[in-house]
Amino acid sequence: MPFRVAVVGTGFIGPVHVEGLRRAGQEVVGILGSSAEKSKQAADRLRIPTAYADFDALLADGDVDSVHITSPNRYHFDQAAAALKAGKHVMCEKPLAMTSEESGKLVEIAAESGKAAGVNYNIRYYPMCLDAAGRVASGELGGVFHVAGSYVQDWMFHPTDFNWRVLASEGGELRAVADIGTHWLDLIYSITRLDVAAVCADLHTVYPTRQRPTGNVETFSSGAGGDIPTEPIAIDTEDYGCVMLRFANGARGVLWVSQVTAGRKNCLRFEIAGEKESLAWVSESPNDLWVGHRDRPNEAVIRDPGSLAESAQGFSDYPAGHNEGFPDTFKMCFRAFYNSIESGGQPNYPTFAEGHREIVLCEAILESHQEQRWIELNTK
Ligand SMILES: NC(=O)C1=CN([C@@H]2O[C@H](COP(=O)(O)OP(=O)(O)OC[C@H]3O[C@@H](n4cnc5c(N)ncnc54)[C@H](OP(=O)(O)O)[C@@H]3O)[C@@H](O)[C@H]2O)C=CC1
Ligand SMILES: O=C1CO[C@H](CO)[C@@H](O)[C@@H]1O
């Protein structure tokens, strides 16, 4: 029997969850938007049986086993806590909450509930990222020397580009680092299993003032431009960040994030230098993994379900040459989540504890920037 799932949020990523859930074999039974009218429109558009009038109606629906939260960040804590307390499994979008106080409480609430609680760090589920993790776990790479990479976009490039994320009150005190940087940090953790022991950060707001349209702007829709009426608004979150990292094993790292780099639509890159070889991957060509050698020719590995690392088996459905991409990662993350619930085994998905760790890291990054010094994290 499929799990019966309700999705919260009808913007950019809510429908991606609906599609991913269906492709993962689960049943989407209901949807909630920011109003009864928005719920109804989304239910009609996406062919979902129930449109909820409000969150209480969703919680009261005994047909719902599981809730996927894709509302803006500031709602995550209340909605995830209430859903767990109502006996539902929860898959919440990243970042898990606005502060580590909230995310820490969510970890406790999840444990008390006995329900499954995951955070949608979907990028882990690109098959070549899972394959990279398998290579590191098998010892093929040897110990990690250092890690470098970036997550770069251009959808905030113009001062007329606006979204709720640019306001700390809506998305949290950190923007580029929390919104996309935590994907990179989570991915590197999932591949190397190395904890970050200290951070040193430099953040920058390129546009301290933006033009806010007087109506709502959905993620990745075009910005204000044209004739849409706007008002100037002070921006209290960063467009850019550079973070130096020290890992618990002594390895070093550097992460660069930007939401104002023209032409980079949604580009995550990493390069991991190990004792025996290096690995590199770019989300713009996600079916390829580069393996670098000093004493023999480098390798360009093309995704092929038959030759993926053992731990990546089952997370790639299409033969080599039939590319898998962004929507597939949602399907695979949800497959991992629901398979783990069904099997009753250890979580094989990004947990609330891992989502909490990202928020702790974000706070250390902000503190480092504000105090212009290295900040150590408790890695015990
Ligand atoms: N893992 C990934 O790859 C991605 C993750 N995300 C994460 O997903 C979340 C949503 O982002 P995104 O889809 O881009 O944002 P959007 O603004 O495009 O969508 C948010 C949706 O939530 C609705 N909403 C607002 N308040 C509520 C509420 N109280 N209850 C239910 N729905 C509500 C909004 O309605 P209305 O428009 O009417 O206000 C809108 O439909 C964020 O946390 C973001 O970080 C986003 C993109 C990619
Ligand atoms: O998680 C995310 C990944 O990239 C998006 C675009 O796809 C975001 O900006 C976002 O919140």
Please check whether residue 218 is in contact with residue 11, taking contact to mean a CB–CB distance below 8 angstroms. yes
Which one of the ligands is nearest to 267 CA?
2
Separation between Cα atoms, residue 59 and residue 10, nearest integer Å: 17
Is the pLDDT confidence value at 33 over 80?
yes
Kindly report, residue by residue over 110-133, the tens digit of the pLDDT: 999 999 999 999 999 999 999 999
Cα–Cα nearest to 237, from 201, 268, 200, 206: 206
Domains 4-121 and 123-351+357-371 share a fold: no
If you search the block for the tokens 């390798």, which residue do you land on? Answer: 299
Shortest CA distance to 104 belongs to which of 365, 337, 354?
A: 354
pLDDT at 5: 99
Tens digits of residue pLDDT in 247-282: 999 999 999 999 999 999 999 999 999 999 999 999
Ligand (nearest to CA of 163): 1
The closest of 88, 89, 24 to 333, measured between CA atoms, is 24
Query: Rounded to whole angstroms, how far apart are CA atoms 53 and 232?
Result: 33
Annotated domain spans of the chain = 4-121, 123-351+357-371
Strands 209-213 and 230-234 come out as antiparallel
ipTM score of the complex?
0.98
Model confidence, pTM? 0.96
Q: Which CATH superfamily is domain 123-351+357-371 in?
A: Dihydrodipicolinate Reductase; domain 2 (3.30.360.10)
Cα–ligand 2 centroid distance for 179 (angstroms): 6
Site to substitute for ligand 1 among 219, 330, 331, most atoms within 8 A of C-beta: 219
CATH architecture entry for 4-121: 3-Layer(aba) Sandwich (3.40)
Beta bridge partners of 104: none
Q: Is the CB of 118 under 6 A from ligand 1?
A: no
pLDDT tens digits, 205-238: 999 999 998 866 666 665 555 667 899 999 999 9
